[in-house]
Chains A and B, each alone.
Chain A
Amino acid sequence: MADKYFEVNNLNVKYGDIQVLWDINFYAKKGEIIAIVGSNGAGKSTTVKTCAGLVRAESGSIKMEGREIAKGTCRQFIDQGVILIPEGRQLFAGMTVYENLEMGASSPEAKKKKKDTMEQIFTWFPKLKERKNQLAGTLSGGEQQMVAFSRGMMGLPRLLMMDEPSLGLAPNIVDNIFSIAKGIAKESGLTIILVEQDVRKALKIANRGYVVENGQITLEGTAEQLMNDPEVKKAYLGV
């Protein structure tokens, strides 16, 4: 189907002998924000890590704009515009904010547009401009998440995956980053896959969502449908 911009089919992943993902299927249309929600250890992180080339799939297909990329290295995923902002930010703590951002521009195209992208980023996060010569490890949690997000944007993603961006951050900082991400999605057609434990927050900004339980997708639908689903309400929203 043409409107499936990013598509994952029958994805199986094993850590050693233990299977952690069973036949995962999902897709995203261009410009969509997809939420992948579920409890701790359900397999959300593994799903996006596999979709970024960090974890190798046992079987199944991952397609970006119709191109099969499941067997690629992390770098090859990035060259196809598929970029992950990993859980826990994973910054280069002993390098400056500027250097961290610089490292994010790896493909030839991203390197060429490095200056422009960085200017753009500094308009979203003026704070980072002020602190660009500061070591990333000395920033506050919220600022670090901004750096992680920006480092991902430096690679000029067409599909951006965010793994637990809200972890350990104050709500207003999370809202700030989410609203910027949403703005980018609207303006430039960036597709976003958001992995969150904070189900309410995730479904609020997403168009559609998938619920992952025990390594399988158990529920899917529009954000609204999921928000009103009795199971979701009971298990995740505490209503």
Chain B
Amino acid sequence: MDTFLQAITNGLMVGGIYALIGMSLTIIFGVMKIINFCQGELLMVGMYVSFVLYDQFGLDPFLAIPLVAIIMFAIGALLQSTIINRAMKNTESDDTNVLFLTVGLGILFTNLCLMFFKSDYRTAVSAVSQKNVELGNITVSMPKLISFLILIIMSVLLFLFLKHTTLGKQIRATSQNKTGAQVSGIKTKMVYASTYGLGAALAGITGACLMSYYYVFPTVGAVYGTRSFIVVTLGGLGSIPGAFIGGLVLGLLETIGSVVVGASFKDTVVFLVFILILVTKQLVKSKRG
């Protein structure tokens, strides 16, 4: 029983990270209707930003989060308004342009980081890195617990931002109806750049959290990129609450899967359940007509 509870706890902690990266991907899709294939790489860049802040200025990964978020927002907004927006102009009928562009950007980021940081594994140590929290017979590592709390805080902040601020409402409006947004006088270009910046910032925050107990290397993004797609597909493309739940479900699947069938088969469990959910979803959909 204790192993099981421990697995659930671990699952929620891992799932928190998946939920955050999933939310960052889904908000970009929801507004711009593009599938951002370099989301994992943005997370990786966020990790390196966090690493540099630690390495050069001795900043604790958790304390560096606001700074990482701001830097990643700027990178994201700049990327969108200078490069991605140009590809989107020609894609009324053809989304493949943006698709290839984001894949290409991902490869570019990976190789830039390889150039600057080599392929070595790098770590940043947080003041709480070695600490554990004991709850009865269950042990949770402190950085993971803090990361999970950050997920909760970010979800609440994101909800409040979208619900109550002018920019948040404009983002929702643009995602629901672009023509409607344009004829209402919303500057959709600005909304797109901000949304992509927001997605990049969330990916960066995920990276900074991860940095507190994991290591960074140039291809670390690939794992989380793939996971983010699963999360978003589980939760429904464009749905933020869906990504939140999808992330936690994925985390639980992984850890419970590794307890039940063994760690080497945990991915098999994840993908089997994922395929099952997809098929059922489609069946339910086609039954409803």
Contact = CB atoms under 8 A, between A and B. Distances in A.
Q: How large is the interface on B (under 10, 10 to 19, 20 to 34, 35 or more residues)?
A: 10 to 19
Contacts of B186: 75, 103, 106
A89 B179 CA distance: 9
A74 B185 contact: yes
Contact of B180 (A75, A78, A86): A86
B134 to A, nearest CB: 44
A54 B179 contact: yes
Contacts, number: 65
Nearest to A87: B179
Contact of B179 (A78, A90, A94, A151): A90
B183 A95 contact: no
Interface string B41-67: 000000000000000000000000000
Interface string B162-206: 000000011011001101111111110000000000000000000
Interface string A63-86: 000000000011100110001111
Nearest to A101: B184
Interface in B120-173: 169-170, 172-173
A124 interface: no
B240 to A, nearest CB: 12
Nearest to A99: B169
Interface of B is mostly: helix
Of A73, A83, A106, chain B has the most CB atoms within 10 Å of the CB of A106
A99 B176 CA distance: 13
A27 B187 CA distance: 28
Contact of B177 (A79, A90, A99, A107): A90
A93 B182 contact: no
A83 B181 CA distance: 12
Contacts of A85: 183
A83 to B, nearest CB: 7
Contacts of A110: 185
Of B169, B177, B180, B183, chain A has the most CB atoms within 10 Å of the CB of B183
B185 A155 contact: yes
Q: How large is the interface on A (under 10, 10 to 19, 20 to 34, 35 or more residues)?
A: 20 to 34
Given A90-B179, A93-B177, A106 B184 contact: yes
Contacts of B184: 103-104, 106, 151, 155
A102 interface: yes
Interface string B104-121: 000000000000000000
Contact of A91 (B170, B180, B182, B185): B180
Contact of A75 (B172, B177, B179, B187): B187
A89 B181 CA distance: 11
A104 B173 CA distance: 11
Nearest to B179: A90
Contact of B173 (A74, A86, A92): A92
A92 B185 contact: no
A152 B184 CA distance: 7
B97 to A, nearest CB: 15
Interface of A: 52-54, 73-75, 78-79, 83-86, 89-95, 99, 102-104, 106-107, 110, 151-152, 155
26 contacts: A52-B183, A53-B182, A54-B182, A74-B182, A75-B182, A75-B185, A78-B183, A78-B185, A83-B183, A86-B183, A89-B180, A90-B180, A92-B173, A92-B176, A92-B177, A92-B180, A92-B181, A93-B176, A93-B177, A99-B173, A103-B169, A103-B173, A103-B180, A106-B184, A106-B186, A151-B184
Given A83-B183, A95-B169, A103-B181, 7 more contacts: A52-B183, A54-B179, A54-B183, A92-B180, A102-B169, A103-B169, A155-B185
Among all A-B residue pairs, the 8 with the closest Cβ atoms: A106-B185, A90-B180, A78-B185, A74-B182, A92-B176, A90-B179, A103-B184, A92-B173
